Amino acid sequence: MTLLYLLNEATVLTQADQTVTISMFGPILLNLLSNLELERKKSERVYLMCDALISSLKTRFGGFYKHFSIEIDNCKVKINTNANTSCLYDDPLFLMSAVVDGRFKFQWINECTLLSDLTKTDIISTIKQCLIKASIKLNS
């Protein structure tokens, strides 16, 4: 039941009519993967279902997850790679948009249980550099 709740919550948040959703993209994807990984470890009964959902997320959004050094090829359930849209989500814009949104800032990265402290520090530094480059580009 928890799995369905997680997916429903992500769907409702990203389909909101009067909310900026691009800034929610990163926090939702990272939180969804983190929660699915936790659920997968809790019970043998939901392991394969979680694995399939994780594999689907990594296949579709692998470009985003690569920013966090998250392995994208480690699931037992394999998804059709012809449907791979991974490269569409490797743009740093998906990281920066959440950080400049006052609802998230860097909190969504710092609270992620999937990431080591070193990875968190590296990604925060990378995002700051991307924001500086974008600011310089806008001002020139």
Name every residue whose Cβ is closer than 8 Å to that of residue 103 and which is 6 or more positions away in sequence.
23
Residue at 51: amino acid letter: D
Residues across the chain: 140
Q: Is the pLDDT of residue 24 over 70?
A: yes
pLDDT of residue 14: 64
**Residue 58: is it exposed, middle or buried by C-beta count within 10 angstroms (0-12/13-18/19+)?**
buried
- Per the structure, the complete domain to which residue 103 belongs is given by 2-139
- pLDDT tens for each residue of 8-20: 776 766 666 666 6
Mean pLDDT in residue range 102-117: 92
pTM: 0.81
| 30 confidence band (pLDDT: 50, 70, 90) | very high
Percent of the chain with pLDDT over 90: 35
End-to-end Cα separation, the chain, in angstroms: 52
Percent of the chain with pLDDT over 70: 79
pLDDT of residue 131: 94
- pLDDT tens for each residue of 40-94: 888 788 888 888 888 888 888 888 999 998 887 766 655 555 556 777 888 999 9
Count how many domains the chain has.
1
What are the respective helix, strand and coil percentages of the chain, to the nearest 5?
Answer: 70, 0, 30
